[in-house]
Amino acid sequence: MLKDVMFLVVVFLTNIIQGITGFAGTVLAMPPGIFLQGIDTAKMVLNILGILASLWIVSVSYKDINWKEVKKILFFMVIGTALGMKIFTLLPLEFLLKIYAILIILMALKGIFIKGEMKTPEWVLVGVILLAGVIHGMFVSGGPLIMIYVAKKLKSKSSFRATLAIVWIVLNTYLAFSHYNQGIFTSENLKLLYLSIPPFALGMIVGNILHHKMSQATFLKLSYILLSISGVALIAK
């Protein structure tokens, strides 16, 4: 019971960040979610909440979507996601979790300490999209990597958030069907999902208000700090 309550607190706090940035909620929630509920439950519940969060963002920011970038991102991320799902079934979970944790920490440190624009060739950016898809297929957490690409292409924070929301709706729906076929939609997991909806909704409301009222840069820095803590916790597990 205590673990369920703690999970609901995690859902509330991380969806505040999701409402602000449009990308960080699931990757922040996944490490503590794995600790508290196990990886299958965490993936299933957080994936569905990710779909709901993205539908919410699209409903309030539809006009800000950059459809050209949506098509490009989806083309490469679908390939990467399918590859990531396959890799997840082939390699040991503990090994994958360590790699995942190291990537989280590296992305967090980059966001905290590396300032300004870096020249990045287009082929490298495409590789970033593919790798983001791989991570998303394994852990429903491709947001921090795809953020590298989107930050280069979209300078408006509202376009940034709305464009990513469409990407997550498509990819997470694909993952949801896969999870259903794997038998992860158990009665216990569905019960936890239903319990998660109120704190999820409250977190999104708060996050959406803060998105419009406060500096995104401040909350991106907060996201990176939380990412680094999550990564360290996974390595120490």
Domain extent listing, the chain? 2-236
Q: Taking a C-beta distance cutoff of 8 angstroms, is the pair 144, 24 a contact? A: yes
State phi, psi for 193 to the nearest 5 degrees: -60, -45
Helices (H) and strands (E) in the chain, counts: 10, 0
For residue 114 the two structure tokens come to 């590396």
Q: What is the pLDDT along the chain (237 residues), one digit of tens a residue?
A: 888 999 999 999 999 988 887 767 787 888 889 889 998 999 999 999 999 989 988 998 889 999 999 999 999 999 999 999 989 888 887 788 788 778 778 877 877 777 666 677 888 888 989 988 898 888 877 777 787 788 778 777 778 888 988 998 999 999 999 999 999 999 999 999 999 999 999 999 998 888 777 776 776 677 677 767 767 766 765
Q: Taking a C-beta distance cutoff of 8 angstroms, is the pair 164, 126 a contact? A: no
Predicted model pTM: 0.80
State phi, psi for 95 to the nearest 5 degrees: -65, -45
Q: Taking a C-beta distance cutoff of 8 angstroms, is the pair 142, 167 a contact? A: no
DSSP H helical ranges for 38-156: 39-61, 67-90, 93-113, 122-139, 143-153
Residues 6+ positions from 8 with CB-CB distance below 8 Å = 195, 196, 199
Q: Taking a C-beta distance cutoff of 8 angstroms, is the pair 207, 16 a contact? A: yes
